[in-house]
Amino acid sequence: MSAIDKEIEEAIDSETLAGVSRGGTWIPDDCTSRHSVAIIIPYRDREKQLNLLMKYLPPVLKRHQINYSIFVVEQMGNETFNKGVLMNAGFLTALDRPANGVMYHCFIFHDVDLLPEDDRNMYTCPPQPRHLSVAVNELHYKLPYRVLVGGVFAVRTEHFLRLNGYSNLYWGWGGEDDDMGYRVEHVLSSISRPPEWVARYTMIKHEKRRPLSRRVRTKLLRTSWRRYRLDGLNTVSYGLGPIVQHNHYTHVMIDVGPPPTTYRNQTALQAQLLAQEKRILESLKVAELNRLNLFERSTFNWISSHRVIDVLNAENDFTRLKKSSCHAAKPYCPKVPPRLSTWYLPNSVRSISRTIENPSSSIYLVKH
């Protein structure tokens, strides 16, 4: 490593850790942020990618002048990966661990292998759920299809509750993000996106996991809009393991359990989905007669069990804290933080892949 490379890398490390509380929580020193954001990173067997993301992402979040906390949610054991369960578990865990006593009103679900290339792609939650990773280098910086929300997805707390979180049925790689895209379009009408020339990301090369069968994935997606009331936050089942606070993030271990024996069996899965669809339709009819839909009842029960009084008005709760005496002396942060610009990784994707294999070769950011 050259002396210049070493100097730049040390500067990034110092910027990453400056002012960050143990557990990966940070608030601006000179102003009161308008946003309280939880970053949820589903994770397993990607240590080098995680280290690179933790080196790069915190400085970007600080330049956005947001209150943030980072949660890395790791699946325990060697069972089939279930990203949907991990993200639901991360959401519930973060709600139980508010930063500075304030509940998060914005959640961002972030893949561990994506690095943002532009500061102007704000890590906040607008009125509609927002897909932040519109243009990824591996996809030639183009959006492949309309309902895609995978990669980096921002959603308000109250919206995530209305969507009932992610589906828990996708065992293996792929499908849960598209399922969420259909949920957003069905429940909240539309997905917002920044311009492609701003929402650019670099994907760190890695070994792909075994994908879920395309036929199984298609059958699940076909029933997404019917299932969302009975498949998500109100039905997620997991074991909560150790929670450890590191310098950059809070590490949460989750046991998702073994996958069902039918998840790769086409005939059995189809019968299971038909039976589930019938139960959903019957439940919805009962809920309609009671003038209170099943999802609202389950959400109310979940809120009551977690003793969250004002979960659907988290933003109002956050505003009240900002007006308290401890923050009275600090002005609000500007809606558009100053000095935001395009940043890029000067190395090619091939160089990034080599760096993952050889940490002695540095990757750093250069202002454009």
Residue 359 sits in a domain whose CATH number is 3.90.550.10
Task: Kindly state the DSSP code that residue 139 receives in the 8-state scheme.
Answer: G
Position 222 scores a pLDDT of 81
Task: Kindly state the DSSP code that residue 327 receives in the 8-state scheme.
Answer: G
Sign (positive or negative) of CA dihedral 85, 87, 90, 94: negative
Task: Kindly state the DSSP code that residue 137 receives in the 8-state scheme.
Answer: G
Of residues 117, 257, 249, 129, the one with CA closest to residue 196? 117
Position 332 scores a pLDDT of 81
User: Which residues neighbour 11 within 8 Å (Cβ) at sequence distance 6 or greater?
Assistant: none
- Measured distance CA(61)–CA(68) in Å, rounded: 8
Strands 250-255, 67-75: pairing kind:
parallel
Position 116 scores a pLDDT of 93
- Measured distance CA(128)–CA(228) in Å, rounded: 18
- Measured distance CA(319)–CA(32) in Å, rounded: 10
Strands 366-367, 343-344: pairing kind:
antiparallel
pLDDT digits (tens, 9 = 90+) for 135-169: 999 888 999 888 899 999 999 999 999 999 999 98
pTM attached to this predicted model: 0.77
Position 174 scores a pLDDT of 77
- Measured distance CA(280)–CA(226) in Å, rounded: 7
pLDDT digits (tens, 9 = 90+) for 96-118: 888 877 789 999 999 999 999 98
Sign (positive or negative) of CA dihedral 138, 140, 141, 147: negative
Position 45 scores a pLDDT of 85
Query: For the chain, how far is it from start to end, CA to CA, in angstroms?
Result: 23
Q: Within 13 Å and on the Cβ side, how many CA atoms surround 282? A: 6
Q: Within 13 Å and on the Cβ side, how many CA atoms surround 10? A: 7
Position 190 scores a pLDDT of 86
Strands 36-43, 106-110: pairing kind:
parallel
Q: Which residue has the tokens 């393991």?
A: 241
Position 346 scores a pLDDT of 41
Task: Kindly state the DSSP code that residue 357 receives in the 8-state scheme.
Answer: H
**Residue 210 structural domain:** 3-367
The mean predicted confidence, pLDDT, of the chain is 76
Strands 200-203, 135-136: pairing kind:
parallel
Q: Within 13 Å and on the Cβ side, how many CA atoms surround 342? A: 9
Two structure tokens written together for 334: 């500007």
User: Which residues neighbour 196 within 8 Å (Cβ) at sequence distance 6 or greater?
Assistant: 134, 135, 141, 142, 143
Q: Give, for 250, the enclosing helix (H) or strand (E).
A: strand 250-255
- Measured distance CA(319)–CA(302) in Å, rounded: 24
CA angle 334/90/192 to nearest 5° reads 50
Of residues 253, 230, 233, 239, the one with CA closest to residue 305? 233
- Measured distance CA(147)–CA(80) in Å, rounded: 25
Number of domains the chain contains? 1
- Measured distance CA(93)–CA(325) in Å, rounded: 28
pLDDT, averaged in runs of 10, over the chain (368 residues)? 45 65 89 91 90 92 93 89 94 89 90 92 93 92 90 94 91 85 89 92 76 69 80 90 93 90 56 62 54 48 45 49 48 73 46 40 37
Position 84 scores a pLDDT of 93
Count Cβ atoms below 10 Å from residue 280 Cβ, excluding itself. Answer: 18
